[in-house]
Structure 1
Amino acid sequence: MNKKPLIISTDPGIDDAVALTIALFAKELDVKLIAATWGNVSLEKTLNNALKLETFLGTKVPVVSGAKLPLVKKPIDASEVHGKSGMDGFDFPEPDKGLLVSGLAATKIHEVVANSPEKVTLMQIGPATDFALYFRQYPDDLEKIEELVIMGGAIGRGNYGPYDEYNVSGDPEAAKIVFESGVKIRVAPLELGHQAFVKQDTMDVVKNYGKTGEMLYSILSNLHDGTLSDGLEIYDALAVGMLLAPEMYTFKPAFVAIDTNDSYTYGASVMDFDNFFGKPVNAEIGVSINREQFVDWFAKVLKEADK
């Protein structure tokens, strides 16, 4: 089986750690590079978290330090959700600094894409800053990108503002560049997270998946965004799911515009499914997911990461 070459931009982040664990152990994926960007917490912490997670998992994917700040706006912070470190709840080992590669994230992404014999898939589970910089600096690479899967945006109400979702609102100008790039895009918006949640019975199963299961149970139990009894919304894993089990989703084409005006809707992702704007489709939006399928898939893929 040919593995799909994949580059991940991430801001770990508890749910990022879940998505990374799934991707790193998926037999269908060949993760070539992890770009740690600012986002849920500062770059210093997200970079350290990416290295700590890989050190714990025993994987050897190179990690590059990404953007420290958004392109234009002031950075925002989600430590009230993910804890001060961004991945509170588990005693990770000291990070293996040997996994860290020097250089700019955009340049390292370009090197992977340029040297790949086949098209490369991108996955964005944080703000769009690094991929936006990459697209602007290496526009000739766009034809070598298979697709970009994104966890971000909202069809309706947001979780950072009335209409803006955190990842997009973190760097709206970067998100605008990404959606206007012409790259094939699939999106897992905020609403899918509301549908794809896991409860105590599922996490009790995951907890028994060796050391990895114990780690995931511990950090997810520390996620300050819902409870295990009510159900935890597992947002970032939805992006990996689009690559590994797209049959779980219902997709609908849309033109996505990002509001970068200084207004009450700054950072909103406007998803036009009905051609009101007369603009060509630039993304396939996941509008629903079969929760039973998701829960079964979630437990199955995490078992593959048992150590």
Structure 2
Amino acid sequence: MRPVWIDTDAGFDDLAAILTVLARPDIAVDGISLVAGNTPLDGVVRNACRMKAFFGWRAPLHAGRDRPLLGPLVTAQDVLGEDGMRTAGRSLPDEQAPLDGRNALAAMAAWLERSEAATVLALGPLTNLAALLLARPDLAARIGEVMWMGGSADRGNHTAAAEFNAFVDPEAVAVVLGSGVPFRMVGLDACRQVPVRLADAAALRACGTPRALLLADLLEGYVRIASPDGSRPMALYDPVAAAALLDAQAVRFDPMHVAVELAGTHTRGMTVCEWRIPRKAEANARVAVQADADRVRGRVLAALAGKEPSQ
């Protein structure tokens, strides 16, 4: 079993990514840490506890940081809604599984202490991981890879220059990059190559199971973020990073040097990707440059439907 830790701010695309990972029988999700991002931390905790109760997850949930390393929290509630999960009908039931008593940093540290070449799938701001590496830099050597959905080698989404997860806590991005841990970045430019549409929600709904009906309504609500009438496709963000973790053929990565802007008036949170390696800089990351849309979407939609992926 390949051990994986998931760090998340518990929106719909986070849920889809987690279900995609859990669909693989050779992956052991040893823990899920929660971080403020899509909503304040109490909303993230509520969503994650409802997810665990409905889907019967076994991995313990650990509450983490409720704010960035520096400055106030910025959320995506203006886009995603008050609870961070838009829907066309059904929502997660109110029943909540309990949190684990240990906080996220203590739980992650304990996991890394007994792990070697550990994999972290990060689906939100990197605050928890950065705080851990600042407190316990000795644990960096225990991390075999961080796979992060965040950043962009092109334009942003929260601002013209910055992707949301990077904008929320750019200092955390800088800490993780500076730690020397092996780092793969799945940014907006790769995720935008994998669109989902209302037809995907309709196909999921046709499965007819309670799980599929709930996820179809959440997927439709997610698609309608791009356009209220559903006429435009929506990029599938976090699940692209999950697919890249599971399938070496799903996403192509190139070595780059990634730096994050911390001070620019218009560019704070921008991830600057230098691709002229090694002439201009030494690589400190591998950045997603091309996604196989059919391969990724097929794997994710199969996981949502509770089926085995075709690849």
Q: Quick check: TM above 0.5?
A: yes
The equivalent residue for 1:150 is 148
Displacement after TM superposition at 1:38 (Å): 0.3
2:168 matches 1:161: no
Structure 1 portions without partners, runs of 5+:
none
In the alignment, the residues of structure 1 paired with residue 15 and residue 211 of structure 2 have an alpha-carbon distance, to the nearest angstrom, of 11
2:59 matches 1:57: no
In the alignment, the residues of structure 1 paired with residue 84 and residue 137 of structure 2 have an alpha-carbon distance, to the nearest angstrom, of 33
In the alignment, the residues of structure 1 paired with residue 7 and residue 192 of structure 2 have an alpha-carbon distance, to the nearest angstrom, of 23
Equivalent residue runs for 1:261-276 within 5 Å: 261-275=263-277
Displacement after TM superposition at 1:211 (Å): 2.2
Please identify, of 194-203 and 269-278, the stretch whose mean Cα deviation from structure 2 is larger: 269-278
Please identify, of 214-223 and 171-180, the stretch whose mean Cα deviation from structure 2 is larger: 214-223
2:16 matches 1:14: no
- Contact 2:17–2:300 (Cα < 8 Å) also in 1: no
TM-score, with length taken from structure 1: 0.92
Q: 1:273-306: per-residue Cα shift (whole Å, max 9, x none)?
A: 0148843211111111122222222223333369
Equivalent residue runs for 1:92-171 within 5 Å: 92-98=92-98, 100-116=99-115, 118-171=116-169
Displacement after TM superposition at 1:270 (Å): 0.4
Amino acid at match of 2:110: E
Amino acid at match of 1:101: D
Q: 1:148-173: per-residue Cα shift (whole Å, max 9, x none)?
A: 10000011110011211000000000
Structure 2 portions without partners, runs of 5+:
none
Displacement after TM superposition at 1:7 (Å): 0.8
In the alignment, the residues of structure 2 paired with residue 170 and residue 276 of structure 1 have an alpha-carbon distance, to the nearest angstrom, of 30
Please identify, of 8-17 and 85-94, the stretch whose mean Cα deviation from structure 2 is larger: 85-94
In the alignment, the residues of structure 2 paired with residue 27 and residue 301 of structure 1 have an alpha-carbon distance, to the nearest angstrom, of 12
The equivalent residue for 1:194 is 192
Alignment RMSD: 1.9
Aligned residues between the structures: 302
Amino acid at match of 1:108: A
- Contact 1:157–1:163 (Cα < 8 Å) also in 2: yes
Q: 1:75-106: per-residue Cα shift (whole Å, max 9, x none)?
A: 112112222111242332234343x1123311
- Contact 1:188–1:285 (Cα < 8 Å) also in 2: yes
In the alignment, the residues of structure 2 paired with residue 219 and residue 97 of structure 1 have an alpha-carbon distance, to the nearest angstrom, of 20
Aligned residue for 2:249, secondary structure, equals helix
In the alignment, the residues of structure 2 paired with residue 201 and residue 297 of structure 1 have an alpha-carbon distance, to the nearest angstrom, of 16
Please identify, of 141-150 and 293-302, the stretch whose mean Cα deviation from structure 2 is larger: 293-302
Q: 1:174-231: per-residue Cα shift (whole Å, max 9, x none)?
A: 1110111111111110012211012233322222342222122111222252254422
The equivalent residue for 2:260 is 258
- Contact 2:198–2:220 (Cα < 8 Å) also in 1: no
- Contact 2:158–2:164 (Cα < 8 Å) also in 1: yes
2:287 counterpart (282, 285, 294):
285
- Contact 1:176–1:257 (Cα < 8 Å) also in 2: yes
Distance 1:305 1:143, change over 3 A: farther
In the alignment, the residues of structure 1 paired with residue 186 and residue 120 of structure 2 have an alpha-carbon distance, to the nearest angstrom, of 14
TM-score, with length taken from structure 2: 0.91
Distance 1:108 1:175, change over 3 A: same
In the alignment, the residues of structure 1 paired with residue 291 and residue 270 of structure 2 have an alpha-carbon distance, to the nearest angstrom, of 22
Distance 1:101 1:277, change over 3 A: farther
